A and B are shown apart, each in its own frame.
Chain A
Amino acid sequence: SQTIHQWPATLVQPVGSPLSLECTVEGTSNPNLYWYRQAAGRGLQLLFYSVGIGQISSEVPQNLSASRPQDRQFILSSKKLLLSDSGFYLCAWDATGGTSETQYFGPGTRLLVL
Chain B
Amino acid sequence: GENVEQHPSTLSVQEGDSAVIKCTYSDSASNYFPWYKQELGKGPQLIIDIRSNVGEKKDQRIAVTLNKTAKHFSLHITETQPEDSAVYFCAAIGGQLTFGSGTQLTVLP
* A contacts, CB < 8 Å to B: 6, 41-44, 90, 92, 94, 99-108, 110
Contacts and interface: CB of A to CB of B under 8 A. Distances in A.
15 contacts: A41-B104, A42-B101, A43-B99, A43-B101, A44-B89, A44-B99, A90-B43, A92-B43, A99-B31, A100-B93, A102-B32, A102-B34, A102-B46, A102-B97, A105-B45
Contact of B104 (A42, A103, A108, A110): A42
B101 A108 contact: no
A105 B46 CA distance: 9
Nearest to B31: A100
Q: Main SS of chain B's interface residues?
A: strand
A107 B44 CA distance: 8
Contacts of B42: 107-108
B41 A108 contact: yes
Nearest to A104: B46
**8 residue pairs, one from A and one from B, having the closest CB atoms:** A100-B32, A105-B43, A102-B34, A42-B102, A108-B43, A44-B99, A105-B44, A107-B43
